[in-house]
Chain A
Amino acid sequence: GESVGLHLPTLSVQEGDNSIINCAYSNSASDYFIWYKQESGKGPQFIIDIRSNMDKRQGQRVTVLLNKTVKHLSLQIAATQPGDSAVYFCAENRRDSGGYQKVTFGTGTKLQVIP
């Protein structure tokens, strides 16, 4: 089967520490991965993306790492702030056997920042 899943449903981090959110995927045909942040009552917000021909990409305070060998994706947040508290989703974008785009979201990890 195919799946995009997260290892930890809830992650508690002290303010100022670094956060690491992990995601496993099973479909090796996926060519594009995205991390989203969703705050309560809002739609998911794009954080950072990475294509399958890369293994690392950095943004402002965030880094995404892609390990295609073990089909693992991670999001690192540096110097975590209270405003980072939210649910984080990884999403996988690929073309299926019919040539159509298909997007699969993981179940989400809730990040709680402790002041």
Chain B
Amino acid sequence: ETGVTQSPTHLIKTRGQQVTLRCSSQSGHNTVSWYQQALGQGPQFIFQYYREEENGRGNFPPRFSGLQFPNYSSELNVNALELDDSALYLCASSLGQASGYTFGSGTRLTVV
């Protein structure tokens, strides 16, 4: 059984650019959530996908968008990057919408 894998592990982008982060969910998991974790803080919920549809969203602007594919893998897209978008982006998968999540190790995004 494989866990949650995220790519890339590190990324540097310029302000104003767009970025796509990828996540492969744990085998058998149909729900994927994305989180933003700033240094020294707890993860902030961005959104959740269940069976390819968004079914939960935190307080993030529309320039944060996502997709879930039929194999339950997922993408997080961020447009018009801002310096404050620099953070660790975590993906988590679960079986169902209210069960324990398995997290990936994250993608460290730096916006310069």
B62 at the interface (CB under 8 A from A): no
Residues of chain B with a CB closer than 8 A to A96's CB: 56
Let me know if A103 and B100 touch, CB within 8 A: no
Let me know if A93 and B98 touch, CB within 8 A: yes
Let me know if A104 and B106 touch, CB within 8 A: no
Let me know if B43 and A44 touch, CB within 8 A: yes
Let me know if B104 and A43 touch, CB within 8 A: yes
Q: Known interface pairs A43-B90, A44-B90, A44-B103. Does A105 touch B98 (Cβ–Cβ under 8 Å)?
A: no
Q: Interface size on A (CB < 8 Å)? A: 23
**Which parts of B40-94 form the interface with A (CB within 8 Å)?**
41-45, 48, 50, 55-58, 90, 92
Instruction: Return the contact of A34 from the options B44, B101, B106 (Cβ within 8 A).
Output: B101
Let me know if A41 and B105 touch, CB within 8 A: yes
Instruction: Return the contact of A104 from the options B4, B45, B55 (Cβ within 8 A).
Output: B45
CB distance from A98 to the nearest CB of B (A): 9
Let me know if A108 and B100 touch, CB within 8 A: no
A103 to B99, CA, bound (A): 11
Q: Interface size on B (CB < 8 Å)? A: 26
**Which parts of A85-100 form the interface with B (CB within 8 Å)?**
89, 93, 96, 100
Q: Known interface pairs A31-B98, A44-B90. Does A102 touch B103 (Cβ–Cβ under 8 Å)?
A: no
CB distance from B108 to the nearest CB of A (A): 9
A101 at the interface (CB under 8 A from B): yes
B102 at the interface (CB under 8 A from A): yes
CB distance from A97 to the nearest CB of B (A): 12
Let me know if B56 and A102 touch, CB within 8 A: yes
A103 to B80, CA, bound (A): 25
Instruction: Return the contact of A105 from the options B42, B100, B102 (Cβ within 8 A).
Output: B42
A70 to B42, CA, bound (A): 23
Interface residues, chain B, with chain A CB atoms under 8 Å away: 4, 33, 35, 41-45, 48, 50, 55-58, 90, 92, 97-106
